[in-house]
Structure formats: structure tokens, C-alpha cells
Structure 1
Amino acid sequence: MMVPLAWYLLLGVALFVIGAAGVLLRRNILVVLMSLELMLNSVNINFIAFGRQSNDFRGQIFALFVIAITAAEVAVALGILVALVRNKPTLKVDDVTIMKG
């Protein structure tokens, strides 16, 4: 039984919209980072779905690159967050103004 491509695309769009809403509406930095991860995973679902439809591995290869870039982004972002929490005891986006020049 084959799942239609449209279902994968609807799942990807739904996850992307939820992630975008989290980025735009939430004020906690950790929630914003998790929403960004959700958006990137929705793009991965679309890459893999299109690769499956066209019967080649390019979609999976792109998805692996996105996962690798995401892992590096998370490592850097968590390091920055640890440094921010040491200077300011909050994780709210509006309260963190330490990066202003």
C-alpha cells in the first residue's frame, strides 16, 4: 500500500506552519530553537517524499545534509545559550539584549 505524495506534503506543510508559529509567537529561546528544528524536519520530510516519488536518492542525501547542519546549529546555539544564562538568568528573547553593540 503506497501513501500518496500529497499526504507527505500536507504533513510537511503542517509541521512547517506549527514551527513558524512557534518562532514568531514564542518568547523563550529554547522553544524558538525547537520550532526551528521542527521547520527543518518538515523540509526533510518534503525532500524525502520528492526523492521517493522520483525514485532517486537525492532527496535523502539533501535530508542528511540538513540533519548535519542542524546538529552543528544546535551545538553552537546551546553553547551561546549557556553563556547567556551565565550572564543573565532569563531565556526570554525580549530580555536578552547582551548582544547589542
Structure 2
Amino acid sequence: MVPMEYYLILSTFMMFVGIYGFFTRKNILAILISVELILNSVDINFAVFNRFLFPDKLEGHFFALFAIGVSAAETAVAIAIIINIYRNIRNIQIKNINEMKG
């Protein structure tokens, strides 16, 4: 059996990669991917803590499935917004978003 610490190290690594990507990327799609990494690290934590703390119950798995559903909806809305931004200014870089104000 794999120890809990390995899962938590993986989840922590994913969280920090997502945070780093969120703050350093200039492309909106790359920022969206970074947010998804952060949400997936949380899903791993839900499943791991459920498995190790309450192995006979499924609450952590249901929370993880709910979070996956919410992140899928968030991604669909974000991609729709990104498509509209691209149609208006033909670019999806963060520095060009201010051109839409006005």
C-alpha cells in the first residue's frame, strides 16, 4: 500500500506548479490550465483523506466528483469567455485585455 505522504507530496507539487503558472503566465489558456491543476490537487486530497481516514465511507469521493463537475463547468464558461475575447481583439494575452474596456 502506498503511504499517504506520497499522495500529499504529489498534491502539494501540483498545487505549487498551478500557483506558479497562475502568477507567471501571460496567456489566458495557460492560466486556465494552472487553475485546473490547483483544483485537481484538491481533488486528490479529498480522495486520499477519505481513503486513509474513513475507508468505509465515500464522502471524500463524492466531494471530489462534485469538485470535478464544478471545475468542468468553470472551464466551459472560461473557454466561452476566451473565445469571445479572441473574436474581439484577436489575441488572448493578459496585457491586451484592457483593450476591451471602453
Q: How does 1:42-61 map to 2 (within 5 A)?
A: 42-54=41-53, 55=55, 56-61=57-62
How many residues get paired?
A: 100
Question: 1:100: how far off?
Answer: 4.0
1:24/1:8 CA distance change after superposition, 3 Å? same
- Aligned residue number for residue 23 of structure 2: 24
Unaligned segments of structure 1, at least 5 residues: none
CA distance in 1: counterparts of 2:11 and 2:100, whole angstroms: 33
Identity of aligned residues (%): 43
Deviant stretches of 4+, over 3 Å: 98-101
Question: 1:98: how far off?
Answer: 4.8
- Aligned residue number for residue 79 of structure 1: 80
Question: 1:99: how far off?
Answer: 5.4
CA distance in 2: counterparts of 1:98 and 1:79, whole angstroms: 18
For 1:5, give the aligned amino acid: M
For 1:70, give the aligned amino acid: S
The structure where helix makes up a greater share of residues is 2
- Aligned residue number for residue 4 of structure 1: 3
Please report the RMSD computed on the Cα atoms of aligned residues, expressed in angstroms.
Answer: 1.2
For 2:97, give the aligned amino acid: V
